[in-house]
Structure 1
Amino acid sequence: MSLIISDQAWAASARNLGVEVACLQAVASVESAGTGFLPPPSNEPKVLFEGHIFHRLTSGHFDATAPDLSYPHWDKSKYAGSLEGEWARLNAAMALDHDAALESASWGTFQLMGFNYPACGFSTVRDFAEAHRAGADEQLAAFVQFIDRPPFRDALRTKDWAVFAAAYNGPDYAKNQYNIRLATAYSQHCE
């Protein structure tokens, strides 16, 4: 298992999408500082557990008994503040509803939400999670499958960072300057 995306995988993915390698690397830089795994000795993928998604997927069933894991609205204050802490939150949620918890986390280098597993080419969220554990090239492959459609692919081809940001990060992307951060990261990867 490799924790770093291979040069061959970057090149093949960019060629298949018709985009520059630097465009893909820019997304990785913004989403996960370029690496999809916890630091050694762990080899777990980076995750960020989203309790408001868990609430939605479980119809709020755990709101009363696990209010730090299930709540109706996004709340940044619920984040653990560490990579290991996010795994602890995910593990606790998996003990309540395994698949809903996996779907409620963003995963790996590209921080793909688990509920996107069908668009990433997987038949189950468990297969999606296992691919993210298998290695960095597998994380890239899931991302490529996810963005190989409009508007993602087209926005990366033309480097329309605002369109990509809105599609990938949501309509409030400008609050975090997501498009600007992508453009800056792209420029850095072109140097």
Structure 2
Amino acid sequence: MSKTITLDEIRSAAIELGVETAVLLAIHDVECPDSGFNDDGSPVILFEPHVFWRELGNVYYYTKREQMRDLFPDICYPTWQKSAYNVRPSHQKLYVASVLHWEAAHSSCSWGLGQVMGNNWEDLGYASLKAFIDAMHESEAKQLDAMCRFIKVNNLVDELQRHDWSGFARRYNGSGYRKNRYDEKLEAAYAKHKHTK
């Protein structure tokens, strides 16, 4: 089975979700404009160090997360910092973090075409975090499915049907979406694809 998604698969997902194909293409363009996989076959991820700090707290690794912050200041810290993102590739960060705590590390990444955070696995109906991660490794179609599950669970279909890009962006991408002009990028991407049936 190919890992690469087809337009027909995107169309089917859009119909099931109740939105235009162009809407899903727009989110894909903005979140992960190329493939959902790297050249080596690994899923595209973004490791979030401030989320890792929080996830370690959730498993009571308070001392360990302070040690991790001191040893690897680009992998674990309490508040979001733009400057640490380009220190090393996300998969390297994930590997180091996983040595300390596999679940916390994998929960702290956004995955694939929709860049869905691993810590959403239970809300999205996966049997386990590992089942979610396995799906993210399987195909772009499974990555799209995770994105659609997130949209449904968070009641964002209406925003997409109305083309309320800022309303969608606020809840999908976080309160800082305006800094990255996420809503504007979505609107532009939708305009590019709006004639796609």
Structure-2-length-normalised TM-score: 0.89
Map 1:1-191; keep pairs closer than 5 Å: 1-39=1-39, 42-59=40-57, 60=62, 61=65, 62-80=68-86, 85-191=89-195
Show structure 2 runs of 5+ residues with no match.
none
CA distance in 1, matches of 2:34, 2:172: 17
AA of the residue aligned to 1:101: A
Structure 1 unaligned spans of 5+ = none
Amino acid at match of 1:18: G
Q: Is the 8 A contact 1:63 1:69 kept in 2?
A: yes
Give deviations 1:127-162, integer Å, cap 9, x for gaps: 111100000111111111111145411111111101
Structure 1 stretches of 4+ with a deviation exceeding 3 A read none
1:6-49 Cα offsets, whole Å, 9 max, x none, are 2232111111111001101101100111421112xx11110110
| Aligned-partner Cα distance in 2 for 1:78–1:2 | 34
Q: How far did residue 67 of structure 1 move?
A: 2.4
Which AA in structure 2 matches 1:66?
A: F
C-alpha distance in 1 between matches for 2:166 and 2:47: 25
Q: Give the distance between the partners of 1:166 and 1:78, measured in 2 at CA.
A: 23
Distance 1:118 1:173 in 2: 25
- In structure 1, C-alpha distance between the alignment counterparts of 2:154 and 2:142, rounded to whole Å: 22
Gap change, CA 1:56 and 1:12, over 3 Å in 2: same
| Cα RMSD after superposing both structures | 1.6
Pair 109,81 (structure 1): closer, same or farther in 2 beyond 3 Å = farther
What percent of counterpart residues are identical?
36
Tell me, in whole angstroms, the C-alpha distance in 1 between the residues paired with 2:132 and 2:55.
Answer: 17
Q: Larger relative CO (CA 8 A, sep 6+): 1 or 2?
A: 2
TM-score by length of 1: 0.91
Judge conservation of contact 1:151–1:167 (CA < 8 Å) in 2. Answer: no
Question: For residues 175 and 80 of structure 1, do their structure 2 counterparts lie closer, same or farther at Cα, with a shift above 3 Å needed?
Answer: closer
Equivalent position amino acid for 2:192 in 1: Q
Q: Distance in 1 between matches of 2:154 and 2:90?
A: 31
> CA–CA distance in 2 between the matches of 1:150 and 1:91?
30
CA contact (8 A) 1:94 1:102 kept: yes
